[in-house]
Amino acid sequence: MKKQLAALLVISLFALLPSTTLPAAHAANPAKHLSTAAQKSSLASLKDLHHGLLYSMEYTADYKLDDCLQADAIDISSLINQMQHSLLKNNTKSPVNTNPSGGCSAFTAKTETGTLLYGRNFDFKMDMTAVLIRTHPKNGYASIGLADTGWVGYGIGSLDDGKTDISMAACMPYLVMDGINEKGLTISVLKLDGAPTRQNTGKHKITTTVAIRLVLDRAATVDEAIALLKQYDMQSAMDNANFHFLLADATGKTVTLEYCANDMHVLDNTFITNYYVTPSMNGFGHGKDRYEIIEKTLAFKKNVLTTEEAMSLLSLVSQPETDESTSMTQWSALYEPNSLKMTVAIRQDYTRLFTFYVNKLS
């Protein structure tokens, strides 16, 4: 009898405690256009890290880089069409954002011990969520990078809302805007004003984001990256803008790669924003205020920063959302090529940082 009373007492006490029931998880989003089990596994790994603003994904499927390099896509619309044909089934269609306006800033510096730091703000005013993509290609280097899913119509929280078809997430390796591979090769792309690059020398054509994928997968150094890109005719992803790249590797070598009047220019600049640094372009573009802040800060610090100072500099040149079309810092990423590490702040929230490594889950 005493045991029965004791059991009833325990049950009664539990009934008085606050409910610990967890909220119901979102139902899996539909993805009816996927063509392989590996794609399904990759999309099943999507994980919301920050209230629909940042996700991670372990991408294990074949994204058919060689096919993409042979496809001769000339802009983001033709690239999306090619990926839909190559990677998906049933001829899915997805909204494509072909006219966003961007800011962006990038720089390299060194710590007191001589290790390289690579800072990058991605400023694009659009409804989007960021996805940390981890890839391990069979014939290439492992890498991590941040993808902008706004290009294919995925806004905040849409990847796990239980209703949005996320088949186009299978194309995310080609939506990476900046990243680092297992050799420490780091790259980002920044928008420029003016006419788009349209090289036409008879080589296979390559668009801006496919160039990033190629470099991350197959280049160990800056020199190797440049040699790879010289094998293709560069095509700007948008018809109303141009782009340039900041590349760095684990040796500390940093270059700016620009295409002016369809010619490739390799420059020693270690920081850029959104105007040309090739002398013949006479500083055409915007973002000179951010450029000068970076320039003066690095000069004052003699190009030596702590990781905290590097992230503070990114914060200093970040942009809130305003009426200006080039506003809105979506993320700030600090890469450490010697330790294969990335630290990320989302939407100017520098009080909460996310850390990722190329060769280990985090």
Alpha-carbon gap, residue 158 to 24, rounded angstroms: 17
Q: What mean pLDDT do residues 81-110 have?
A: 79
What's the confidence (pLDDT) of residue 15? 35
The chain-wide mean pLDDT, for the chain, equals 90
pLDDT(13) > 60: no
* Tokens linked to 56: 């991670």
Alpha-carbon gap, residue 49 to 102, rounded angstroms: 25
Inter-axis angle of helices 208-218 and 222-229, nearest 10: 130
What's the confidence (pLDDT) of residue 361? 75
* Tokens linked to 60: 């294990």
Domain 37-96+103-357 has CATH 1.10.287.3610: no
pLDDT(277) > 80: yes
pLDDT level of residue 324 (50, 70, 90 thresholds): confident
pLDDT(70) > 70: yes
H runs (alpha helix) in the chain: 2-16, 37-44, 65-70, 76-87, 208-218, 222-229, 288-300, 307-316
Contact between 241 and 259 under an 8 Å Cβ cutoff? The reply is no
Q: What is the pLDDT of residues 200-237, one digit of tens each?
A: 999 999 999 999 999 999 999 999 999 999 999 999 99
Listed in sequence order, the residues at least 6 apart from 320 whose beta carbon sits closer than 8 Å to its beta carbon are 327, 328, 329, 348
Q: What mean pLDDT do residues 63-73 have?
A: 96
pLDDT level of residue 92 (50, 70, 90 thresholds): low
What are the residue ranges spanned by the domains of the chain?
37-96+103-357
Alpha-carbon gap, residue 301 to 297, rounded angstroms: 6
Contact between 229 and 265 under an 8 Å Cβ cutoff? The reply is no
Query: Who wins on pLDDT, 301 or 13?
Result: 301
**Which residues sit opposite 121 in a β-bridge?**
105, 332
Q: What mean pLDDT do residues 267-282 have?
A: 96
Q: Is 279 helix (H, G, I), strand (E, B) or coil?
A: helix
What's the confidence (pLDDT) of residue 2? 39
| Closest among 116, 117, 107, 115 to 294, alpha carbons compared | 107
Q: What mean pLDDT do residues 35-52 have?
A: 97
pLDDT(193) > 60: yes
What's the confidence (pLDDT) of residue 356? 98
Q: What mean pLDDT do residues 317-338 have?
A: 90
- pTM over the 0.85 mark: yes
What's the confidence (pLDDT) of residue 23? 35
What's the confidence (pLDDT) of residue 93? 60
What's the confidence (pLDDT) of residue 26? 45
Q: What percent of the chain has pLDDT over 70?
A: 89
Query: Who wins on pLDDT, 59 or 5?
Result: 59
Largest CA distance in the chain: 95
Q: What's the CA dihedral at 223, 228, 229, 233 to 10 degrees? A: 150
Eight-state DSSP code of residue 341: E
Alpha carbon 342 to its chain centroid, in Å, reads 11
What's the confidence (pLDDT) of residue 16? 34
Q: What percent of the chain has pLDDT over 90?
A: 81
What's the confidence (pLDDT) of residue 122? 97
